[in-house]
Structure 1
């Protein structure tokens, strides 16, 4: 989901509705945001810089590079409102010539969106600025590319009298790099507050759903409490902000930033639809408070995609494991999830080749590679869990590994060797070959061997798996991508797709073998609609769903004390 590479530091939530005041302090950036219907007016006052000029850049979140389209009326001034020279270097960069003086940068933020989700790919990550509703992550901020200014504390004041209710995820921030993770939300929203294990949780909801607010709050509370129990420590400083906004059948998901969790599910689905996929989304995003953020943080010098198999894959495993442990999933449900994950693994052409090294450069540009991080990473977590239990006679589990990684991350961000050392310390056995082969390398995951060792029955047979049947020149899937090759005998070939076709539109659901995919392709200046079922038959190992009903419970039960 979105903001997979954002770090977590835990902040305070507060309700703000008072005039904007800027108080100058040494080594503190004063931020003031005036929130008006359809507009944000941002004012950033920086202490003196060590440089004669400061470059500001927009943020590229979730692979979306066009946040600069929201920025206008950018100006800079010093004391007595004397204007400074500001030069735009390119679409995403501006330079302010401040001559090492304290200065104030002001600009306006607008948004072209007509709905929260937007009408174009990625628009849901842009600010939502309506007459009756505002929702904006900090990616509307211009970031100073100056080590001194970006590392200084930020104090925020918000003026939001245009909205009857307004919330912001913090009042102060350790640095500007933390400030970009602020969340602003207000307007026509429903607000509830409850306490969970000493934490104040604010639920902010906007829109209508196929379930009551109270059912959502009960289910979320159950998940949050469970994951705190699994990790043995509560890293959530109060209060925690949980937002629920409308998604749709084609665009839904979630985000976690600092102490704010946001989900935007398909509003037409009941809470238990598709085996509680809405609550599974909450379970995924909440677990990021431990994994992929400051609690278990990877080496910042390593490009973001390299450790996505861990930060996203292990988090995806815990999302499903949480629902299983808390009896929202039955034994059969959890086995079905494992089998679906194996089918996805076997049908994705990048499952073996999308190593961490490859993910460093292709995670955001190739959707199939990105899917590998989630799916193969979740399967690695499953295999790790089963192997740890088998090696320790059930006395340890993946929970222990995650807790160990948290302790080590307090001293320094982790690298591969830290994971290997933790596994070996936990089990007193050598993991170096397994890690080299199946995490860093291209050796197929050893499902049968690990399942046999765990006494889980499995068998290989014909299965229907998802298969678009073609590849593109860039390797991903986007508008105007050119079809590079079409698999012989595939559904795509039978529907008439050809190499050289240009994708002008498409509608399908990843890993859905039950519904048709629709593609609009352009060929020799003419557009054609192709409709086909994206599926193929292949032999795949699967867990036996009935015979394993008892055995799979070794994962439901925690470590033996």
Structure 2
């Protein structure tokens, strides 16, 4: 049972999860808005700490996060008090020389990476947003840290004026697993605030979950809050989680663009953030919430990433998370079997068309942040398919299922002082279950062989059909068209789009039908052609073919035994 309570967004410290105040920690972080009249112009950060025993204290940003390697570039007017000298540190911070244990204070402002509201064409999670009425950032950007002291205890305070709301997981008095909050927890956080900040507190089995958002969305935000509560309850039930601590979900709007729909997120230990297209329908957001919340366990409680080449483990951390977002949405009744199959089919088409389909995991991971959408998506696709493959193999051999394996892996590592590598821990847990995954890892990951799932991968009421289909081809240069403000560029005279009448220079106003990546469904686009607006219909099929798989539901069996078939489809 969970309940909803809408509360005012007050700029005060919320004492969730503790009955009494903790002893004052050594390192203190404060955050406040810098106001210019009624507008928020920047964010002021103050850090108070004792100098290192050596008398040399480095206060700096990390090497990088989410593809951004200059995390301190938005800091301005850095000042340090209490030291004899302060010289530049490698990533924009300061190396402070002082008496050992001296009281140090570091102050600076964080400015916005955006001159306007972030849009679906210009939004990066690693960049701070400071707008006149609201702000958002991840902790890795906001906060410098004393190098080598990420495990040191820390405290946080919001110092904003009345009327500027604030929400952050730094307000939780404990970190993941109930440990005392540390500098590392402050860094791995999110902060959102503004004049119109709305915060809803949901009690899920007695534990508070806050949902905070700013700005305008096209969907009912109260329905979004309720959906968030259902997703949190669903996944805590899956993991059989008891005694969960406070949690925060944030949402900021992205300015829309015709013909594009975008939303994304990033997971934290006790929070996750979402960036959502203002025009996004609520029906598409349950999966986003399910994916991001699943990261509270995968990979955080299942193992650690490698020190270098972190993306080599994304097939498990991201791909398995995609797999379970779909599975759990279906089990909870938040998706229909038809929606489940359609989402899988969209992913399978994208995998079949991917330029990285036959690329080994190490090579693809090296290009994750720079190789474009195909490089970014391949670990999600491969990981989802491997999860489906191994889940079916476990069940077919009477060895349980993937659910049981992941829960056992979490339980085995609970309270561990040092976590093993995520992928090693999973392979070992599969060994204990009785399934050796090493041949598949070598074949589909190390060597990058294309993966085809067995026909019965999704149970007796659905089958995977393998067929050669025309490649998806819009008929124009999509990247150049988007860059030109949706003015058609590079229309191919040999394409179906050209045959239907589309030409360079026409402006796409909106797409009213069709599925990106699906060459079997007609595209319908409204275009501005000089002074005339018209609708153009064409089949986005190219001349080449590719081999893909699609889930086909057995409609007769679903009609006869809907609940049994749904259970089989959901594993």
Counterpart CA distance in 2 for 1:383 and 1:28 is: 49
Partner residue in 1 for 2:202: 194
Find 1:33's aligned residue among 31, 43, 47: 31
* Alignment partner of 1:178 is 2:185: yes
C-alpha distance after superposition, 1:298-338 (max 9, x if no partner):
24435310110111111111111122112232223222222
* Alignment partner of 1:245 is 2:245: no
Partner residue in 2 for 1:8: none
Partner residue in 2 for 1:160: 160
Partner residue in 2 for 1:286: 293
Counterpart CA distance in 2 for 1:391 and 1:113 is: 54
**Alpha-carbon offset, residue 232 of structure 1:** 1.8
Find 1:398's aligned residue among 402, 412, 416: 402
Cα contact 1:168–1:184 (8 A) shared by 2: yes
Cα contact 2:319–2:383 (8 A) shared by 1: yes
Q: Secondary structure at the match of 2:303?
A: coil
The 1:358/1:175 distance shift into structure 2, 3 A limit, reads farther
Partner residue in 1 for 2:553: 545
The 1:160/1:408 distance shift into structure 2, 3 A limit, reads same
TM-score (normalizing by structure 1): 0.76
Partner residue in 2 for 1:297: 303
C-alpha distance after superposition, 1:83-121 (max 9, x if no partner):
6332365xx334423145432221111115244425863
Find 1:256's aligned residue among 244, 267, 291: 267
What does residue range 306-317 of structure 1 map to in structure 2 within 5 Å? Answer: 306-317=312-323
The 1:177/1:319 distance shift into structure 2, 3 A limit, reads same
C-alpha distance after superposition, 1:371-430 (max 9, x if no partner):
1011121111122222222222xx72221121022123333233434322322322x343
Partner residue in 2 for 1:529: none
The 1:552/1:93 distance shift into structure 2, 3 A limit, reads farther
Cα contact 1:67–1:140 (8 A) shared by 2: yes
Partner residue in 1 for 2:48: 45
The 1:468/1:305 distance shift into structure 2, 3 A limit, reads farther
Partner residue in 2 for 1:96: 95
Counterpart CA distance in 1 for 2:43 and 2:447 is: 48
C-alpha distance after superposition, 1:345-396 (max 9, x if no partner):
111021221x33224422212122111011121111122222222222xx72
Partner residue in 2 for 1:222: 230
The 1:134/1:437 distance shift into structure 2, 3 A limit, reads same
Cα contact 2:11–2:159 (8 A) shared by 1: yes
Counterpart CA distance in 2 for 1:437 and 1:358 is: 14
Counterpart CA distance in 2 for 1:59 and 1:185 is: 24
Q: Secondary structure at the match of 1:38?
A: strand
Partner residue in 1 for 2:384: 378
Counterpart CA distance in 1 for 2:69 and 2:201 is: 36
Find 2:213's aligned residue among 205, 213, 221: 205
The two structures, once aligned, show a CA RMSD in angstroms of 4.0
Partner residue in 2 for 1:407: 411
Partner residue in 2 for 1:75: 79
**Alpha-carbon offset, residue 541 of structure 1:** 3.2
Counterpart CA distance in 1 for 2:436 and 2:75 is: 53
The 1:46/1:360 distance shift into structure 2, 3 A limit, reads farther
Cα contact 1:150–1:176 (8 A) shared by 2: yes
**Alpha-carbon offset, residue 57 of structure 1:** 3.0
Cα contact 1:77–1:84 (8 A) shared by 2: no
When structure 1 is superposed on structure 2, of 188-197 and 206-215 the one drifting more is 206-215
Q: Secondary structure at the match of 2:277?
A: coil
The 1:297/1:237 distance shift into structure 2, 3 A limit, reads same
Counterpart CA distance in 2 for 1:552 and 1:441 is: 35
The 1:51/1:366 distance shift into structure 2, 3 A limit, reads farther
Partner residue in 1 for 2:37: none
Partner residue in 1 for 2:280: 269
Q: Secondary structure at the match of 1:156?
A: strand
What does residue range 62-141 of structure 1 map to in structure 2 within 5 Å? Answer: 62-78=66-82, 84-87=85-88, 92-99=91-98, 101=100, 102=102, 103-117=104-118, 121-123=122-124, 125-141=126-142
Counterpart CA distance in 2 for 1:120 and 1:422 is: 41
Cα contact 2:264–2:288 (8 A) shared by 1: yes
Cα contact 2:120–2:277 (8 A) shared by 1: no
Partner residue in 1 for 2:535: none
Counterpart CA distance in 2 for 1:66 and 1:215 is: 38
* Alignment partner of 1:169 is 2:169: yes
Counterpart CA distance in 2 for 1:110 and 1:135 is: 11
* Alignment partner of 1:333 is 2:339: yes
Counterpart CA distance in 2 for 1:53 and 1:164 is: 34
The 1:400/1:195 distance shift into structure 2, 3 A limit, reads same
Cα contact 2:473–2:541 (8 A) shared by 1: yes
C-alpha distance after superposition, 1:2-53 (max 9, x if no partner):
xxxxxxxxxxxx96448xxxxxx99721222222322111121232213535
Cα contact 2:331–2:567 (8 A) shared by 1: no
Cα contact 2:474–2:540 (8 A) shared by 1: yes
Counterpart CA distance in 2 for 1:332 and 1:120 is: 30
When structure 1 is superposed on structure 2, of 102-111 and 136-145 the one drifting more is 136-145
Counterpart CA distance in 2 for 1:454 and 1:189 is: 48
